[in-house]
Amino acid sequence: MSPSRPASEAVDRDTSARIERYVRLLSTQLQNLRERLYPPEAQKSFTRVFSTQDVSRLLNVPESTLRTLTLEGKGPLPEINGGGRRQYTLAHLAALRTFLAEARPDEALHLDPRRRPGEKLQVLSASNFKGGSGKTSTSLHLAHYLAIQGLRVLCIDLDPQASLTTTFGVQPEFDIGENETIYAALRYDRDRRPLSEVIRPTYFLGIDLVPGNLEVQDFEFDTAMALRDRVRDGHGLFFERLHSALAEVEDRYDVVVLDTPPSLGYVSLTALYAATGLIITTAAAMLDVASVNQYLLMIMDITGVLADSGAPALQHDFTKFLLTRYDPNDLPSKTVSGLLRSLFGDDVLLNEAYQSTAVQAAGLAKKSLYELEPGSVGRDALKRALESQDAVNGEIFKLIRTAWGRPS
């Protein structure tokens, strides 16, 4: 029989205490990391500037026109860097859109693409119940792209893990108080708040955020109780509540981007029913495709049950598959792409989101590719990754314009 260990050497079997210590250490380290990344106020900011060539491409306006405007002192004047080159901030770009749209009414729809009267709010949901499919990266890059194009975007983080919230420089443990997430607008009791009260501006001009944290998970438990108790409060059943909340603020935005959790619970279902467009993300691997099949089966079964109980049919302006983590030089990636395209045809987005060291570097810095400064990663790697993201997001933007009834 082995001798008993002294108390000081006894194995620590209190897992709860150990997890509490892990949380304390990790939360403190994450806060310290943020303070190092975003000094002096530990707030994230958008520091990228756009060259004359960038602005010419984004607005489809000749560089000579931009130079003439500057020389004549018309419109927003760009900054001049140390090398004597003109550079535009995101605020300059937005002001220039407005100026040119007023000066050129025939081109106003392109220069200022915000939705017009009669065009409905577009609510886009990146969806899949498998973690690692690229939902958050897709949501972030799409939101940044659309804001750069001149749209007013609201991001809603429906994932208790709050990854999208974190990428906007908001630390869930420190920066979000009780009842300050999307849960506040979905809950069933007297503490429910209008969505407008939990929207916060972000550092990225044109994007507002409704943050998430672990509190969002409470909607799963509350809904089970509300269904049991047959709660009716004027804001609808669980699958209607996000749509109802969005109605309060729809005049303020052109597009809402929903980042959903890796599950198919009540939170994901309210996103599915609120969405006008569905982007099903899947990594270019056969196991991920098999998981997507299970996800689709679950949607079919659950929505079928809801329809039998009187819920409306699940309808979207478009439903598209997006291949993520795609490597054009990898045979398995090509095989998965070929399989999905042979099965679903045009329901698969023409462009894929490439796997890249630039994407990994951006994720490590809690940024999108649109925020990376030249020189932060290899020039060629960044160029290829940006071309891939621009192609994907441009394709989705075209779907939005089609849903608005605009010419392609």
Q: Are residues 105 and 143 in the same domain?
A: no
Q: Are residues 389 and 270 in the same domain?
A: yes
Q: Where among 92, 111, 130 does a domain terminate?
A: 111
Name the H helices within 38-124.
52-59, 63-71, 90-103, 108-111
For the chain, helix (H) and strand (E) counts, in that order, are 16, 10
Quick: pLDDT tens for 23-77: 677 767 766 766 666 555 556 788 888 989 999 999 999 999 999 998 888 888 8
The predicted structure's pLDDT at residue 13: 66
Q: Where among 85, 111, 137 does a domain terminate?
A: 111
Cα 166 to its chain centre, rounded Å, is: 11
Q: Are residues 391 and 273 in the same domain?
A: yes
Question: What residues are paired with 320 via a beta bridge?
Answer: 279
Quick: pLDDT tens for 326-378: 998 889 899 999 999 999 999 999 999 998 889 888 888 889 999 987 777 88
Q: Are residues 97 and 148 in the same domain?
A: no
Q: Is the pLDDT of residue 12 over 70?
A: no
Q: Are residues 168 and 269 in the same domain?
A: yes
Q: Are residues 96 and 173 in the same domain?
A: no
**Structure tokens of 107?**
């081109």
Judge whether 38 lies within some domain: no
Q: Is the pLDDT of residue 2 over 80?
A: no
Per-residue DSSP letters for 332-363? Answer: HHHHHHHHHHHHHGGGB-SS--B--HHHHHHH
Q: Are residues 68 and 177 in the same domain?
A: no
Q: Which of 108-112, 154-158, 289-293 has the highest mean pLDDT?
A: 154-158
Distance, CA of 139 to CA of 18 (rounded, Å): 34
SS3 call for 315: coil
Judge whether 256 lies within some domain: yes
SS3 call for 123: strand
**When comparing pLDDT for 217 and 286, which is higher?**
217
The predicted structure's pLDDT at residue 83: 78
The predicted structure's pLDDT at residue 284: 87
The whole-model pTM stands at 0.88
The predicted structure's pLDDT at residue 9: 47
DSSP 8-state secondary structure symbol assigned to residue 326: B
Judge whether 14 lies within some domain: no
Q: Where among 71, 92, 111 does a domain terminate?
A: 111
The predicted structure's pLDDT at residue 77: 87
Quick: pLDDT tens for 73-90: 888 888 888 777 889 999
Query: Domain of 101: which CATH number?
Result: 1.10.1660
Q: Are residues 54 and 171 in the same domain?
A: no
Judge whether 267 lies within some domain: yes
The residue behind tokens 């975007």 is: 153
The predicted structure's pLDDT at residue 131: 76
Quick: pLDDT tens for 228-273: 988 888 898 999 999 999 999 999 999 999 999 988 899 999 999 9
Quick: pLDDT tens for 164-220: 999 999 988 888 999 999 999 999 999 999 999 999 999 999 999 999 999 999 999
Number of structural domains found in the chain: 2
> 293 falls in which pLDDT band (50, 70, 90)?
confident
Judge whether 223 lies within some domain: yes
Query: Domain of 126: which CATH number?
Result: 3.40.50.300
Judge whether 360 lies within some domain: yes
Judge whether 337 lies within some domain: yes
Whether residue 40 has a cis bond before it, omega within 30° of 0 = yes
Contact at 8 Å (CB) between 139 and 165?
A: no
**Average model confidence (pLDDT) for the chain?**
89
Domain carrying residue 56: 50-111
Q: Is the pLDDT of residue 125 over 80?
A: yes
